[in-house]
């Protein structure tokens, strides 16, 4: 006799530990294949590299980023609109001051100061709450994706190690 030492890859031993024993078959089902006693039926569901969770997370991130870009576009439009209105008001005030200086130089009475807020409708600053909520959503989806991707990566390395062993 020759002494024999068997070394098993830890991934393979984990897989062998997950194998299930065949169910007890009745005597009438003697024609079923693999009915030898002591033989194990493998369960390959553990090695399923299913990436449905990964693709779902990626789709959610893409959708959230699209929503964020849309919201940021809306905010930048409103910000430009506010800047235009403020520029118009500032231009009007500067022109009015110049006109008053000219009138005073000519010895005429200056024009009365008008309330600029009545002449120009300067919108209020837009709320950035929606953007912040979308960024939080993207962050949550990113963390979920990291967990899903790490699980998938471990399974892929495990399947690669099983193929090379």
Give pTM, 2 decimals. 0.58
| Percent of the chain that is helix, strand, coil (3-state, to 5) | 65, 0, 30
- Show the domain range for 60: 51-164
CA distance 155 to 165: 15
Would 157 be classed as within a structural domain?
Answer: yes
Q: What is the pLDDT of residue 162?
A: 64
Would 115 be classed as within a structural domain?
Answer: yes
DSSP bridge pairs for 41: 20
Would 56 be classed as within a structural domain?
Answer: yes
In 33-128, alpha helices (H): 52-105, 116-119
pLDDT digits (tens, 9 = 90+) for 126-164: 999 999 999 999 999 999 888 888 877 777 777 677 666
Q: How many helices (H) and strands (E) does the chain have?
A: 4, 0
Per the structure block, which two tokens stand in for 6?
């068997």
Would 46 be classed as within a structural domain?
Answer: no
Would 13 be classed as within a structural domain?
Answer: no
Would 5 be classed as within a structural domain?
Answer: no
Would 133 be classed as within a structural domain?
Answer: yes
| DSSP assigned state of 106 | T
**Overall domain count for the chain:** 1
Would 71 be classed as within a structural domain?
Answer: yes
């Amino acid at each position: 006799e020759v002494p024999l030492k068997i070394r098993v890859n830890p991934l393979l031993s984990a897989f062998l530990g997950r194998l299930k024993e065949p169910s007890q078959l009745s005597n009438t089902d003697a024609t079923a294949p693999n009915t030898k006693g002591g033989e194990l039926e493998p369960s390959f569901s553990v090695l399923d590299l299913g990436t449905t969770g990964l693709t779902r997370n990626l789709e959610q991130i893409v959708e959230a980023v699209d929503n964020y870009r849309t919201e940021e576009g809306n905010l930048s439009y409103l910000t430009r609109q506010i800047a235009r209105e403020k520029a118009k008001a500032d231009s009007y005030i500067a022109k009015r001051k110049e006109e008053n200086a000219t009138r005073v130089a000519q010895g005429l009475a200056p024009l009365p100061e008008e309330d600029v807020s009545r002449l120009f409708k300067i919108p209020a600053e837009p709320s950035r709450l929606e953007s912040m909520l979308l960024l939080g959503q993207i962050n949550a989806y990113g963390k979920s994706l990291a967990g899903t991707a790490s699980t998938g990566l471990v399974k892929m390395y495990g399947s690669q190690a099983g193929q090379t062993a």
